[in-house]
Amino acid sequence: QVQLVESGGGLVQAGGSLRLSCAASGIIFRINSMGWYRQAPGKQRELVATITSAGSTNVANSVKGRFTISRDNAKNTVYLQMNSLKPEDTAVYYCNVQLIVANYWGKGTSVTVSS
């Protein structure tokens, strides 16, 4: 059974930093990409950043230069280092794992940035 365990969310003041982690277990097929999406209240879920097994990244313009995505292939774990956080970064952040045969989502971790 595939499980995605997210951690690292919380409450932080504007300008602060947080690091999100997502560990995937129970996956027997090759992982194409891992990443993070977010959904703010009243808004659609949007891409934050993704990273392939080869290390190629795709980062949303709204967080480029502030957020860094990284990955430990041996541990099937993806990280999101979030610096210079802004109130508009407040959202539930979801981990995503894409295989050739399936697509998995975590339950989400809440990030709140106070002004």
**Residue 27: predicted pLDDT:** 81
Averaged over 9-14, what is the pLDDT? Answer: 97
pLDDT higher at 90 or 74: 90
Q: Are 113 and 90 in contact (CB under 8 A)?
A: yes
Is residue 12's pLDDT more than 80?
yes
The C-alpha atoms of residue 48 and residue 30 are separated, in whole angstroms, by 22
**Residue 43: predicted pLDDT:** 97
Q: Which two tokens stand for residue 62?
A: 């709204």
User: Which residue type sits at 101?
Assistant: V
**Residue 28: predicted pLDDT:** 76
**Residue 39: predicted pLDDT:** 98
Q: Report the percent of the chain where pLDDT is more than 90.
A: 86
Q: Give per-residue pLDDT as tens, 30-66.
A: 888 999 999 999 999 999 999 998 999 999 999 999 9
Q: In the chain, count of helices (H) and strands (E)?
A: 0, 11
What mean pLDDT is reported for the chain? 95
